[in-house]
Structure 1
């Protein structure tokens, strides 16, 4: 069962369900390699000293703390962030311990656009900008295949307005 199934209304279907692009994990993985490599090097330097066990324990505690804070926490945030387009609304859910979310009904969306810088183009992602009846546009960063998502969202917004016109 996909994540948002319990949040769907009767007759509502998921069109797109994505996590942020994996490029946001490059920094945390780099931190993992630097911490493991650096702390292994430091552990090797103190291997011949009589107080090596104490230093190894200290290095292990500090290293695990750094890995938990700078690698595991961003991985958990990435995994628990969901960008979902359904037939009726746009949903974004994020957070590990404290969850937050936003739902935008399709009929409230005025325009959808995207922005892709050079790095985003290389990785195949971008920022989706959704203008709704709210004061300011909402920006969703690191959306994979942002052009396709923008097209699908635009289609769903159009389908919803055509459906409302037929009912009225």
Structure 2
């Protein structure tokens, strides 16, 4: 079973599954191109001699280390950051080796807002802030693609969740008044 489907309840569906905006990985890609160019240039500059092979290996090893630290780790971090909106909750999962997560029930959300700078408006990104009832404080989701659309979606899902809960409550009351078990009504 694929992520995030393995985290869902029986009657829960994924409405939207997001990663941070793709521009968060644009700088690592630019760095990759610069590192490949610099390593190639550096290896070509090594003068002829007995140590030429080991110096070139050293240049390539340094470049490979920088690629792992400055390119691969940010790409993996981007890929393993999940923002999932379902019919019942918002799931947040972040991390590569050490992971952290938070599940926010739609019924606990009291306010959803978004903020965009001029640049974020141009690229279609922004910050979504989710305020909940309780002591946890606001949850801030940065670099969200289509942040205004996500904010509107969350508000819509909160209303639908409230309607669904009210219907379930009414069905439960009707079932208990009729003397039949709720599942049979």
Q: Verify same fold: TM over 0.5.
A: yes
- 2:98 counterpart residue number: 98
Shift of 1:33: 1.5
Aligned residue runs from structure 1 range 152-163, under 5 A = 152-163=153-164
- Please tell me whether residue 110 in structure 1 is matched to residue 110 in structure 2: yes
- Higher RCO (CA 8 Å, separation ≥ 6 residues): 1
The answer to whether the Cα contact below 8 Å between 2:43 and 2:60 also exists between their aligned partners in 1 is no
Shift of 1:148: 1.1
- 2:78 counterpart residue number: 78
The answer to whether the Cα contact below 8 Å between 2:111 and 2:131 also exists between their aligned partners in 1 is yes
Structure 1, 60-69 or 44-53: larger mean CA deviation: 44-53
Shift of 1:165: 3.2
Counterpart-to-counterpart distance in 1, 2:118 and 2:71: 25
Shift of 1:83: 0.6
Structure 1-normalised TM-score?
0.94
Counterpart-to-counterpart distance in 2, 1:85 and 1:38: 42
Higher strand share: 1
Structure 1, 96-105 or 134-143: larger mean CA deviation: 134-143
The answer to whether the Cα contact below 8 Å between 2:106 and 2:157 also exists between their aligned partners in 1 is yes
Deviations 1:28-47 (A, max 9, x none): 11221221111111111115
Listed as ranges, the gaps of 5+ residues in structure 2 are 171-185
Shift of 1:70: 0.7
Shift of 1:123: 1.4
Shift of 1:138: 1.1
Counterpart-to-counterpart distance in 1, 2:118 and 2:49: 50
Shift of 1:162: 2.4
Counterpart-to-counterpart distance in 2, 1:70 and 1:7: 31
- 1:8 counterpart residue number: 8
Aligned residue runs from structure 1 range 60-79, under 5 A = 60-79=60-79
User: Paired residues, what number?
Assistant: 168
CA RMSD for the aligned pairs?
1.4
Counterpart-to-counterpart distance in 1, 2:164 and 2:68: 48
Counterpart-to-counterpart distance in 1, 2:99 and 2:141: 16
After TM superposition, where is structure 1 displaced by more than 2 Å over at least 4 residues in a row? 47-50, 162-166
- 2:132 counterpart residue number: 132
Listed as ranges, the gaps of 5+ residues in structure 1 are none
- 1:147 counterpart residue number: 148
